[in-house]
Amino acid sequence: MKKILVFNGISQKVIDYLEGAHFEVVINSQDTDEDFTQYGEDLYGIIVMMHKIDEKIIQKLPNLKIIARFGVGYDNVNLDDATKYGVTVTNAPGANAVSVAETAVMHMLMAGRLFYQYHQKMIGQADNDFLAQYRGQEITGKTVGIIGFGNIGQTIAQLLSGFNVNILAYARHDRDVPNGRMASLDEIYQQADFIVLALPATANTVGMVNQDAFDQMKSNTVLVNIARGSVIDEPALIEALKAHKIAGAGLDVTVQEPLPADSELLQLPNVFVTPHIAANSKEAHENVGLYAAEEIVRLLTGKEVRSQVN
């Protein structure tokens, strides 16, 4: 029986679905290369989390046909290597959009209104000088720039409609923006009170939010990143926060994950950080897993996949 590798903790519904389609499901933590290569010629599909997949793994799996990324981003899979060996790579666009969008709005509120800092004050761990000097700001009526306007970006805009905001959206292709309009990056940097990053990490986007971008932003700007840590030039972000070039940042993703306890981002009083948990709702966990499993079954039963990225 053809084996499909999934990771520890995947929804039982995903396992049941794959077994119901007559595949053998193997499960491990996906921590090391050997967690993948040990199955050799028996492995036909993988639902992968964040482990890096490239030629040194793929070449040891001669019958591997599909790598289904558990999520939207796929920067941990070398697409050129997969294509070289005839392996299809898919992602799961839209399956976690609500969960990630809700996290973005939460970060806007936490970083914008300084709720966490006031919690820290209650337990005697706040920077009281900072809180005495700076006040939080409301979202309602503000201009919000959303960089990356796919499923997640559009869902963020939809959730924000109740706040009566003006949306400036940036994407590779023009899209309808019911509560705003498409805009250039410079317009967003210069006009937005809140900027939300919701775009993939690619050769064109890594480091795109850099010192030049921070120099254009308003002093009250709150930057939220629920995309990938690498799209921000992190040293430039830290300097902008320390110099109060921008008001604050809400980060669910960082360049190094997990973030070291001594990271400066955890010490700054105008930053709120969570450990890459935007898609970590029970609904998203199940939806993304099932989407990935369906892609595997479709390909291995001779049907066309929906979301190939290579």
Active site residues: 228, 257, 276
DSSP 209-250: B-HHHHHHS-TT-EEEE-S-GGGB-HHHHHHHHHTTSSSEEE
Sequence-distant (6+) residues with CB within 8 A of 5 are 26, 27, 28, 30, 35, 36, 39, 43, 45, 46, 47
What's the rounded Cα separation, in Å, for the pair 133 and 242? 14
| Both tokens assigned to 215 | 């120099």
The distance from CA 97 to its chain's CA centroid, rounded to whole angstroms, is: 10
Sequence-distant (6+) residues with CB within 8 A of 123 are none
Pick the closest to residue 209 from 139, 147, 149 (CA basis). 147
Cβ atoms of 217 and 246 closer than 8 Å: yes
Report how far apart, in Å, the C-alpha atoms of 193 and of each of 67, 138, 140, 178, 224 are. 39, 10, 11, 19, 11
Q: What is the DSSP letter of 273?
A: E
